[in-house]
Amino acid sequence: MMAKNREPDDTNFNIISSGTTIKGEIDTKGDIRIDGKIIGEVRSNGKIIIGNTGVVEGDIYCVNAEFSGKIQGKAEIAELLALKESAIFKGDIITNKLSIEPGARFSGSCSMEKEVAQPHKTPESNKK
C-alpha cells in the first residue's frame, strides 16, 4: 500500500483568546476566532468570527464573517457578513450579503456588490 502525499490542512481553526493583544497583520487560509484585540489587518480565506470580547482596529478581508464585538475599519466580505446584537461596527462594509440583528450598532457606509474580491486575490495583498 502506497503512502498518500498529504496536503497541508487548510481547514485549521485559529483562536486569539481574550486577554491577548496582537499588533500587526494576520493572514490565514483557515477560519479564525478573535476574542482578544487585534490592531492591524486581518485576512482569511475562510470565516472570521469576532466574539463578544473581541476588538479589531483595522481592515478585515474574508469570505464570511460573524461580528459580535467591536470593530473599527473597513470590512470586505466576499459572501455573508452577520452583525450580531452585541456588535459595534464603525467603518465601511463591502459585501455580497448582510445580516444585522436588532441591537447591533453600525456607523459608516455599506456597499452590497454581486462580486467582492476574494481575500488573497486583492491588489492590496500584492503591495509589499
Residue 11 — φ and ψ, nearest 5°? -100, 20
Note down the domain range covering 33.
14-109
The percentage of residues in the chain with a pLDDT greater than 90, rounded to a whole number, is 77
pLDDT at 11: 60
- On whether residue 125 sits in a domain, the answer given is no
Residue 101 — φ and ψ, nearest 5°? -80, 150
Cα 5 → chain centroid: 31
pLDDT at 105: 97
Number of structural domains found in the chain: 1
- On whether residue 18 sits in a domain, the answer given is yes
pTM given for the model: 0.82
Query: Is residue 125 over pLDDT 70?
Result: no
- On whether residue 126 sits in a domain, the answer given is no
Mean pLDDT check: name the lowest of 16-20, 41-45, 109-113: 109-113
Bridge-based pairing state of the strands 55-57 and 37-39: parallel
Count of other CB atoms within 10 angstroms of residue 120:
15
- With bands split at pLDDT 50, 70 and 90, how would you rate the model's confidence at 124? very low
Query: Is residue 128 over pLDDT 90?
Result: no
pLDDT at 29: 92
pLDDT digits (tens, 9 = 90+) for 20-63: 999 999 999 999 999 999 999 999 999 999 999 999 999 999 99
Residue type (1 letter), 93: I
Q: How far is CA 117 from CA 12, 43, 93, 125, in A?
A: 22, 12, 13, 11
- On whether residue 70 sits in a domain, the answer given is yes
- On whether residue 124 sits in a domain, the answer given is no
- On whether residue 48 sits in a domain, the answer given is yes
- On whether residue 65 sits in a domain, the answer given is yes
d(CA 66, CA 110) in angstroms, rounded, equals 16
d(CA 38, CA 75) in angstroms, rounded, equals 14
Identify the residue with better confidence: 89 or 114.
89
d(CA 84, CA 125) in angstroms, rounded, equals 28
- On whether residue 6 sits in a domain, the answer given is no
d(CA 24, CA 114) in angstroms, rounded, equals 30
Mean pLDDT check: name the lowest of 3-17, 40-54, 70-84, 86-100: 3-17
